[in-house]
Structure 1
């Protein structure tokens, strides 16, 4: 996987966490220290879940090796389509501000909820033989940066901005899945 593809993947995996962080920041105005703490929590969880998915994918990789590129495509495109659809379906919705529960347990629950897609992507990555440690680190660092910023700017831009990031992230995942499929099928020159 090229550095550019890793960067796009990292941004894509971070958009739903960013959207959640913008929503949390819009609900209350955190100072830098709580925003950094929340960003660190998202980083740890978002970096762990693709490794977990990758590990599970390795178990099945030998069995499905002939179709691995199709599985990677379906997983990436499916997660991407779901993210884009979710962002489109809710982008005009005006929702009343729900109270944001503070504390570590609600924060971990939100971080886990936004990282499920990273586990599915990790499964797909196991089939194409990538260095998961580099990718997990990049996803984690990107998530840390975006969630910390999302918390800090959430009160200014509101939760609606996060939906556009989610749509773009979903479209980027679809593009990465298509690129993987095209490379393995020989549809690209080279």
Structure 2
């Protein structure tokens, strides 16, 4: 049960980055068709990026000693701390187009942080497919939710969702360390 809770919290934390960006983009009246496709592409990227990290982590954990779990926890905590501090800094808006290369850049930008998370999971004994599918599904759904809510709400939630996601990553990192 504890592992399931960690999986769900980690999936939400990774998806909140996509949620916060799509929330802001939803304020720009992105067509629902483009938002739908963006959610799918982001879900696929959130499967691919941590999947690569998990494979690399598993490869290293075979030859690594006991410090591997500590290293994974430190990476999670560091990524979470970065997200928390970034939520307090001034945002410089980068305009994405929801077609062509723009959608791929958008998906890469919100999923790149899932690579080190996957790496830290790969250092532990974990079911790869369960993790990466969970990351993909949660990211896809949270992206769609961000676009829909962004069309109807103000930008206040965007900052708080990034802060919440970073806090969850910090907590999971500390849990792995201690």
TM (norm. structure 1) is: 0.86
Question: How big is each residue's C-alpha offset from its partner over 1:5-31, in whole Å with a ceiling of 9 and x where there is no partner?
Answer: 100000001111111111211112422
Residues 88/65 of structure 1: CA separation in 2 closer, same or farther (3 Å cut): same
**Aligned equivalent of 1:55:** 55
Contact 2:35/2:147, CA 8 A, preserved across alignment: yes
**Aligned equivalent of 2:66:** 66
Question: How big is each residue's C-alpha offset from its partner over 1:95-125, in whole Å with a ceiling of 9 and x where there is no partner?
Answer: 6x76442313111111111111100111111
SS at match of 1:28: coil
Whether 1:24 and 2:25 are equivalent positions in the alignment is yes
How many residues in Structure 1 have an aligned counterpart in Structure 2? 177
State the 1:128 CA deviation: 1.1
Whether 1:134 and 2:154 are equivalent positions in the alignment is no
SS at match of 1:27: coil
How many Å separate the matches in 2 of 1:18 and 1:152? 10
How many Å separate the matches in 2 of 1:164 and 1:120? 22
How many Å separate the matches in 1 of 2:60 and 2:122? 9
TM (norm. structure 2) is: 0.91
CA-based RMSD of the aligned residues comes to 1.7
**Aligned equivalent of 1:35:** 35
Structure 2 residue ranges without an equivalent (≥5): none
